[in-house]
Amino acid sequence: MVSKGPVLRLLTAINRRRMKLLMGLAFVAYVASVWGNFVNMRSLQENGDLKVESKIEEAVAPLREKIKDLEKSFTQKYPPVKFLSEKDRKRILITGGAGFVGSHLTDKLMMDGHEVTVVDNFFTGRKRNVEHWIGHENFELINHDVVEPLYIEVDQIYHLASPASPPNYMYNPIKTLKTNTIGTLNMLGLAKRVGARLLLASTSEVYGDPEVHPQNEDYWGHVNPIGPRACYDEGKRVAETMCYAYMKQEGVEVRVARIFNTFGPRMHMNDGRVVSNFILQALQGEPLTVYGPGTQTRAFQYVSDLVNGLVALMNSNVSSPVNLGNPEEHTILEFAQLIKKLVGSGSEIQFLSEAQDDPQKRKPDIRKAKLMLGWEPVVPLEEGLNKAIHYFRKELEYQANNQYIPKPKPARMKKGRTRHN
């Protein structure tokens, strides 16, 4: 047996220590490389994760918005409505309640806390105008033509049903006459049966092409009974006559509002009245069509002013006719220029032939409404026009998305057979 000498033992001890050191270093290098790879992979993974996450976020964001909208539509389904006690809450019928003025009146009466029944045949009215109330416990929408009788229990009737724009009421003059005569008789009959108060939406057109300026309620008017506007003018005149016959003979409580030119959101794109025509033409860069030389005058009120006036009149004790309008008078040419300016449009102004029997001057005398109702318009013309311009801009976008852009309708009488009779 060979025994290890002291030198050999020393060398072995040194080698062992070196080995240990080497192994220690190798271990540290291994740990460092594993850590390095780990860190590297993590940052690669994080980068990838971030990309994937941002892609997912991109896809999900619109869905999230949709869910929010849906949640909102469930939680805030209806505009806020006041609570009215049984004693103060009225059952109110609005004929033509899905139309331009009718739908704004519906909004006001609903928000005031009343029970509102809208009756409309959707000739010029649209479900869209009142869809935000559908399903509300205080609201009812009935597809019905006032030319047929109606049997419901109500306390007040706002009788607005009738086409109001010249191209619309001239489209089917017989239907316009039936609506304003038979329709009004039916509503007065209903008012008599259930003891309701009826407000007739009459018009400044009862003054015809006036020879008195401005027009006050005592003026009897200057109407051509056989002209193209007669179906509306005379229809409304006889509707007023019917109201006072029912008042005198049957004791029905009546209110008569003579409504002057009114404009605002929810006018139909195809309405054909001057405000919607000019705004749509200006927005689309088309010529603004002025009928005649544009020297005829009108005074325009914003729809919210009219609605306040209608409600004030209904709840007053004034049974004689009351003018509701804004007395700020302009020529139609001035009006075209103002709309062009407000829209910022480069449209030309085009002069077309004059419309037959077009009233040359119109401006309401509203002293009676001020005195008896404490009412007067408060919305300045430009402010109202800007709201209407905003509305029509949105409507054009909406129609463009639906691939349909109606052209403003000219005020010409339609010949031949029509759909509504």
Ligand X SMILES: O=c1ccn([C@@H]2O[C@H](COP(=O)(O)OP(=O)(O)O[C@H]3OC[C@@H](O)[C@H](O)[C@H]3O)[C@@H](O)[C@H]2O)c(=O)[nH]1
Options 117, 121, 203, 308; binder of ligand X; rule CB under 6 A: 203
Kindly list the strands in the beta sheet with 322-324, ordered across the sheet, starting from the edge strand earlier in the chain: 139-143, 115-120, 91-95, 156-159, 197-203, 254-259, 322-324
Please, which contacts does 132-140 make with residues 24 or more away whose CB atoms are closer than 8 Å? 132/78, 132/79, 133/78, 133/106, 133/107, 135/77, 136/77, 136/78, 136/81, 136/110, 138/81, 138/110, 138/113, 138/114, 139/106, 139/110, 139/115, 140/115, 140/116
Tell me whether residue 93 or residue 279 sits nearer to ligand X (CB atom).
279
Nearer to ligand X, 117 or 308 (CB): 308
Contact yes or no for 204/259 (Cβ under 8 A):
yes
Size of the site for ligand X (CB under 6 A): 20
Do 232 and 162 meet the contact criterion of CB atoms below 8 Å apart?
Answer: yes
Nearer to ligand X (CB atom), residue 189 or residue 327:
327
Nearer to ligand X, 150 or 164 (CB): 164
Nearer to ligand X, 253 or 358 (CB): 358
Output the smallest distance, CB 165 to ligand X, in A: 6
Give the binding range for ligand X (CB under 6 A) out of 125-133, 140-148, 185-193, 201-209.
201-209
Q: How far apart are CA 271 and CA 256, in angstroms?
A: 24
Q: Which is nearer to ligand X, 165 or 308 (CB)?
A: 165
Asked if 96 and 162 count as a contact pair (C-beta separation under 8 A), the reply is yes
Nearer to ligand X by Cβ, of 114 and 340: the residue is: 340
Of 54-62, 103-111, 200-208, 219-227, the window that binds ligand X (rule: CB under 6 A) is 200-208
Look at phi and psi of residue 334 and say left if phi exceeds 0, alpha if psi is from -120 to 50, else beta. Answer: alpha
Cβ 257 to ligand X shortest distance, Å: 10
Which 8-state DSSP code applies to residue 345? -
The residue annotated as part of the active site, out of 158, 169, 232, 302, is 232
> Is residue 411 part of the contact set for ligand X (CB under 6 A)?
yes
| Cα four-point dihedral sign 414, 286, 353, 278 | positive
**232 is a catalytic site residue:** yes
Stretch that binds ligand X, among 19-27, 198-206, 242-250, 381-389 (CB under 6 A): 198-206
Helix (H) or strand (E) holding 80: none
Question: From the list 259, 279, 373, 389, which residue makes contact with ligand X (rule: CB under 6 A)?
Answer: 259
Contact 159, 184 (CB under 8 A): yes
* Residue 332 touching ligand X (CB under 6 A): yes
Interface residue with ligand X, options 138, 180, 204, 323 (CB under 6 A): 204
Calpha distance 99→307 (Å, rounded):
13
List, in sequence order, every residue forming a beta bridge with 120; answer none if it has no partner.
143
Q: How far is the CB of 181 from ligand X (least distance, A)?
A: 17
Q: Are 260 and 326 in contact (CB under 8 A)?
A: yes
HSE-up (13 A, CA, CB side) for residue 293: 3
Output 186 or 296, the one with its CB closest to ligand X. 296
Residue ranges in 205-234 that form contacts with ligand X under rule CB under 6 A: 205
297-299 and 322-324 beta bridge pairing:
unpaired
Of 90, 144, 298, 340, the one binding ligand X by CB under 6 A: 298
Q: Among 96-104, 110-118, 155-163, 164-172, which window interacts with ligand X (CB under 6 A)?
A: 164-172
The nearest distance, CB 159 to ligand X, in angstroms, is 14
301 binds ligand X (CB under 6 A): no
Member of 130, 147, 164, 322 binding ligand X (CB under 6 A): 164
CB atoms within 10 A of CB 171: 22
Strands (E), 267-408: 288-291, 297-299, 301-302, 322-324, 329-331, 349-352
Cα–Cα distance, 185 to 358 (Å, whole number): 28
Is 184 a binder of ligand X (CB under 6 A)?
no
What is the smallest separation between the CB atom of 155 and ligand X, expressed in angstroms? 26
* Binding map of ligand X across residues 272-291, x = CB under 6 A, - = no contact: -xx--x-----------xxx
Subset of 352-381 contacting ligand X (CB under 6 A) = 355, 358
Q: Please, what is the minimum distance in Å from the beta carbon of residue 70 to ligand X? A: 39
Q: Tokens in use for 100?
A: 């331009």
Q: Which of 166, 183, 265, 384 binds ligand X (CB under 6 A)?
A: 166
Positions touching ligand X (CB under 6 A) are 164-166, 203-205, 259, 261, 273-274, 277, 289-291, 296, 298, 332, 355, 358, 411
Which positions are annotated as active-site residues?
A: 232
